Amino acid sequence: MKQVMMSWQFWAVLSACFAALTAIFAKIGIENVGSDFATFIRTVVILLVLAAILTATDEWQGLGTISPRTGIFLVLSGLATGASWICYFRALKIGDAARVAPIDKMSVVLVAIFGVAFLGEKLSLPNWLGVGLIACGAVLVAYRG
């Protein structure tokens, strides 16, 4: 079991499960509240949970242990995450969760493209086929026909 918990696949599957629950819980939760305020509440909860995890695992680090380059990219990642959450909650406020979530998951397609373009990652023909199928699948699930 320990070997399973150390695999990236285990954590990726859990991430997908929690992301699915996020969409369902958020859609119900934003029924009578503004999307930006809902995002704020979500963020506060995440901060509290992460602070508890860091405390329980004794993994707090001094800011001086982070290089300037790492700090810049973590700040940029935080800004992108915040923008993503704000947009996601606004989309959920006005759209169906079953249609919003697949379009949001087009991020998988964009990560593949950006990974190749900016990180020098390599994808094989079957990988690109999968990326194309994800894109087509997301559009078909979101299609209102």
pLDDT category, 17, cuts 50, 70, 90? very high
Determine the pLDDT at residue 145.
78
Taking all residues of the chain, what is their mean pLDDT, rounded to a whole number?
94
pLDDT at 3: 85
pLDDT of residue 4: 79
The stretch 34-40 carries a mean pLDDT of 95
Q: What percent of the chain has pLDDT over 70?
A: 100
The string of DSSP letters for the chain reads -HHHHTSHHHHHHHHHHHHHHHHHHHHHHTTTS-HHHHHHHHHHHHHHHHHHHHHHHT----GGGS-HHHHHHHHHHHHHHHHHHHHHHHHHHHS-HHHHHHHHTTHHHHHHHHHHHHH-----HHHHHHHHHHHHHHHHHH---
Q: For 45-70, how does the pLDDT look when each residue is reduced to its tens digit (9 = 90+)?
A: 999 999 999 999 999 999 999 999 99
pLDDT of 1 above 80: no
| pLDDT score for 50 | 97
Check whether 144 has a pLDDT greater than 90: no
- Percent pLDDT > 90 in the chain is 92
Q: Is the pLDDT of residue 123 over 90?
A: yes
Q: Mean of the pLDDT values across residues 84-91?
A: 95
